[in-house]
Chain A
Amino acid sequence: MGIKELPDNDLAWRMGQLAKDGERGSGPFEQYAEELYSRYAKQAVNLSCYYGLRIDDANDAVQTAFIKAFRSIASYRKDKVFKNWFFKIVLNCVRDSYNQKKRNFHSDIDDVEIPNEHFSKEFHISMSIRGIINELPDKLKEVLILKVYTGMSIEEISRATGVSVRQIHNRINQAYTVVKKKIEEEELI
């Protein structure tokens, strides 16, 4: 079975075994790491942006999350769902970065992005939706992002966040209701 066909938990477990054997920087370790990166980097960056981070900060947070995951891969247990384990790390990194940015928030004139030729109607809708999601209370925002942009199931989100399944149901429902209402109010669609 080639690397592409290996399930996530198998890849992660193999990396863990290599790490335990002192082979953290080896060729196979890097190959497995690259495969996991190709599977989840985009989802992780999307999650970070929808959480409220700018793209540079999102890439930094995701980079930190991957490095943390690779360095602690020896503690990964094969019977765990890799996605839950990994996105728990991502969420922690994103939260840290977001809280830090929120505290130190300031906007230099040089940082302000000037609308350019990409500023189309579609771009306006998408950015507005992202803004609506950014502004949700953290507990609603987290479950919505995990559900929509990582494709995790309710049960998986419950495990990754430590919140009961019932609560996740309620939060998703609340989050969707708020988002729908705001989209309608702003007449985006």
Chain B
Amino acid sequence: MNFQEQNDVERLLLDHTIEEKIVDFHTIWGYYKDAERSKEVPMSGKKGGAKVAIWLSLFAIVAVAGWFGMTKYTAMKQQQTLESGNAMLVTLIVGDVEVKKSGSGDWTALYVDDVLKMGDEIKTADESYCEIQMIGRGIYRLESGTEMALSQLENVNGAVQATMTLNSGQVALKPEKLHEGETFQVETSTAIAAVRGTRFSVAVNGDGDTSVAVAEGTVAVAPNVTAIDDAANRGLVSQGAADTLQEQLVGTTPVTAGEELNVMTSSVKTLDAALTTAIETTVSNSGAITEDKLTAPDSPTGQSEVVLAVRDMAAADVAAATGTTAAPDVPLGSVVATRRAISEQALAILDQVTEDKIIQNVVEMVKVAVNSQPQGAVVFVDGVRVGTTPYVQIVQKNSEIALTLTADGYNDYNQTYKVDANTRMNIVAVMDRVNVPVSTTVSVEPTNAEVAAVTTTVAGTAEQVAAVSTTTTTVKQILPGDLLWNKSIAFVSETKDPVTYRGTMFATVGNKLYVISPNGTVLKTVTVIDSGTLTKPTVGDGLVFVGSDGGGVWAFDTSGNKVWSKSDAGKEMMGGVSPVAGSGIVAVPSIDNGISVYDSQSGATVAHISEPQQIFSKPLIVNGGKILVYAVEQGDVIGYDLQAKTELWRKKIANRIIMPILGNDSAAVVFDRDSGTFYGLNPSTGDQVWSKVLAATVKTTYYPVYISGKILVISKEADKVYVLYAKTGEILLNKTIAGISSYPFVSGEWVYVGTSSGGVYGFNYSSGASWSKTVSGAVSMISADDNGVYALTAGTVTGFAR
């Protein structure tokens, strides 16, 4: 159906619209007011204490029963959604993987067990990957540097329609044998790969060139040309004719097992342009192309005169541009593709998506969490390297997993587990150190009272014994707040704002950078500069960066090895300032030389922003590294276009800004410490989106922190902890805690904070759940990862279960 015909149908429908009577606004407004009032739960009149107690008890019973009912209901709904094919489940995450939910503008961290629906987008960072599954139907594995959208994911009358749009990177998939009418396809800007019960991968590079590799079965690949659709929309080709033209002119190219097909963007564009010209010429000669003109076969190939005319013209253009001539009986789509034997790299990735990995139904899946001491051990499941600890994966119930952990300086840990837990299984492996010299005999007690442990008698100093104890851990349910272990360490507790990144903590003291395992072991001490003071560390793009009060910037890998350094960055103000890294760049603010911006991986200079005023606050990188938002001490906030190298906007926000600019693409959050006001600005325009006054934060000495879309603010002076939603300024958590002594830490929906009297608190700002524990001495630092919460007091680190 062409554009004009579509218009005619639309006009017909509009002409015969039945205008229904609608209820008046005041009726709706009345219901709205009722709904609002019911939220307030008024308590009219005074009641006696006993009556109140009875009412409260009844309310509590109903609420608890309701909660269980709702939980059960929600789980059932989720199960139905997953098993119907209207959603997918995240079963494995390694590294940094983010999701942008449909209708949301923000990227947030993706976790194992999360559910993805149509319209959601996923991206994996460098050295990261994830697996998502359509329960009972198929598995997708997204390699590092991949961005993919779930463009269509729905069960239409019992047939699942799944189309993934791959914007960059590589995805491997293995669908089960599909039912009649079901679709599994991957679309890129240059090709569409459609499949039935096979195993293949699709990769797209920065130019849009697409590569389809097949390990089993056959995949039909069509170049993603738009010329025929466009012509149909312009009325040059009828819709019925468009489908025929698409089939006969462009067609699909079969790719069989052991083959790899490459489709180049430039070739697809050439074909698109050639088809457009050929169709226009044919239409100007003999009128619009309709189904009638395509029905009578005029050639031995069964193609009509019109198709042959368009094909000859387009083929000539393509041959002139590419030097490749298409055989008469081959659709032109095959001309833009080149075929070769499947690469080793593609085969290795396809080995990871096998039928036995596909979870058959929701009630039979179990979440397996593996942690180790030391953390960061390389994990092999069934002989395949799957990541490093802490590691989480969802597997089929009653399956067996052969687990191997390896770490430098430790014996390999080998154990086979039967996954027979109902929903979750925790495995904590304590690994043996290799070749430790021993001299005395000491009996070792288990360090974790909550975990069943078997110990052997070994010889050595007390410190060595801790390392050589052969503690074999069995599986046990661990509850939030349970003690995992408690360990004395020889580590300086005067760290400035340590950061946790990829399972390792980084802290600076004076001129040194410390690399610390989450259980408190100092893995490496790096003397970065001979004299002077380092900024607090900052992390991003897989690296750790520090600046100094004498100028310069240093980049380290997560093991503490120097990657590069630059001496031309200006001097940094001590306190809230540090370099900021992400989206492939690192920006170093200074008090004497504006902002120097470098390529985070190579250290090459990307830009230099001349700013005569002093910068006391950490800037913010947004819009994929295109915009830098920074503030000068005198209170101006500036948006700078790093590509055009021009100032986008400059706004006077406060009299003095010394706190870091935090946030994301939705809002750059500026904190005026003198008035306790937080401003959410649109990073692209500088327009104020929201503002919030938190009087308790006036003159706070702690810097706000940004983690996963939230701004964490504490006031030691007013004993307050707040969590704000960066996008809207909404207060997610407001707690009063006496004697706060550590920076809080946010992980998922949990906020952790330590106090001077040894209190360690965990709050869930979504469910309202909380726990608290006490350690000996003031808590100077707190951090968390998937498996534990770690509190540092003078010389001791204590780990608690989350």
Contact = CB atoms under 8 A, between A and B. Distances in A.
Contact of B728 (A33, A46, A75, A161): A75
B12 A149 contact: no
Interface stretch (B149-157, B461-469, B581-589): B149-157
A119 B151 CA distance: 44
Given A55-B20, A164-B151, A177-B239, A66 B32 contact: yes
Given A45-B22, A167-B152, A177-B239, A162 B102 contact: yes
B728 A149 contact: no
B103 A88 contact: yes
B19 A172 contact: no
Nearest to A70: B32
A78 interface: yes
Contacts of B730: 20, 74
B694 to A, nearest CB: 14
Interface in B1-46: 1, 5-6, 9-10, 12-14, 16-23, 25, 27-29, 31-33, 35-36
Contact of A67 (B19, B32, B165, B728): B32
B25 A63 contact: no
Contacts of B28: 37, 63, 66-67
Given A139-B154, A162-B102, A167-B151, A33 B29 contact: yes
A25 interface: yes
Contacts of A66: 28, 32
Contacts of B239: 173, 177
Given A34-B25, A164-B163, A176-B6, A58 B31 contact: no
Contact of B17 (A58, A149, A166, A179): A149
A188 B28 CA distance: 37
Contacts of A173: 1, 6, 239
Contact of A49 (B18, B666, B729): B18
Interface in A79-133: 79, 85, 88, 122-123, 125-127, 129-130, 133
Most buried by A among B5, B22, B151, B233: B22
Interface string A153-177: 0000000011110110100110011
Nearest to B103: A88
B10 A37 contact: no
A14 interface: no
Contacts of A45: 20, 22
Contacts of B12: 129, 183, 189
Say what secondary structure dominates the interface of chain A. helix
A59 B22 contact: yes
A126 B20 contact: no
A162 B118 contact: yes
Contacts, number: 123
Contacts of A46: 17-20
Contacts of B729: 20
A7 interface: no
A169 B19 contact: no
Nearest to A145: B13
User: Contact residue range for chain B?
Assistant: 35 or more
A4 interface: no
B152 A129 contact: no
A161 B151 CA distance: 10
B20 A58 contact: yes
A122 B16 contact: yes
Given A25-B36, A62-B22, A63-B31, A126 B233 contact: no
A148 B728 contact: no
Nearest to B14: A148
A177 B689 CA distance: 45
A2 interface: no
Given A45-B22, A62-B22, A67 B31 contact: yes
B165 A126 contact: no
A137 B157 contact: yes
A78 B689 contact: yes
A41 B33 contact: no
Contacts of A179: 9, 13
A163 B151 contact: yes
Contacts of A166: 229
Interface string B218-255: 00000000000100010000010000000000000000
B349 to A, nearest CB: 26
Interface string B112-128: 00000111000000000
B23 A127 contact: no
B105 interface: yes
Interface in B480-538: none
Given A67-B32, A164-B165, A167-B152, A126 B18 contact: yes
Interface string A48-72: 0100000100110011001100110
A67 B18 CA distance: 25
Most buried by B among A133, A164, A169: A164
Nearest to A60: B23
B9 A176 contact: yes
A54 to B, nearest CB: 10
Contacts of B5: 176, 180
B10 A55 contact: no
Contacts of A183: 12
Contacts of B32: 33, 66-67, 70-71
Interface of A: 20, 24-25, 30, 33-34, 37-38, 41-42, 45-46, 49, 55, 58-59, 62-63, 66-67, 70-71, 74-75, 77-79, 85, 88, 122-123, 125-127, 129-130, 133, 137-139, 147-149, 161-164, 166-167, 169, 172-173, 176-177, 179-180, 183, 189
27 contacts: A46-B18, A46-B19, A62-B22, A63-B28, A70-B32, A71-B35, A74-B730, A77-B105, A77-B666, A79-B682, A85-B103, A122-B16, A126-B17, A126-B18, A129-B12, A137-B156, A137-B157, A148-B13, A149-B17, A161-B119, A163-B152, A167-B152, A167-B163, A173-B6, A177-B239, A180-B1, A180-B5
Interface of B: 1, 5-6, 9-10, 12-14, 16-23, 25, 27-29, 31-33, 35-36, 102-103, 105, 117-119, 151-152, 154, 156-157, 163, 165, 187, 229, 233, 239, 666, 682, 689-690, 727-730
**Which are the 7 A-B pairs with shortest beta-carbon distances?**
A162-B119, A176-B9, A126-B16, A164-B151, A162-B102, A37-B25, A126-B18
Given A149-B17, A167-B152, 6 more contacts: A33-B29, A38-B25, A71-B32, A137-B157, A138-B156, A163-B152
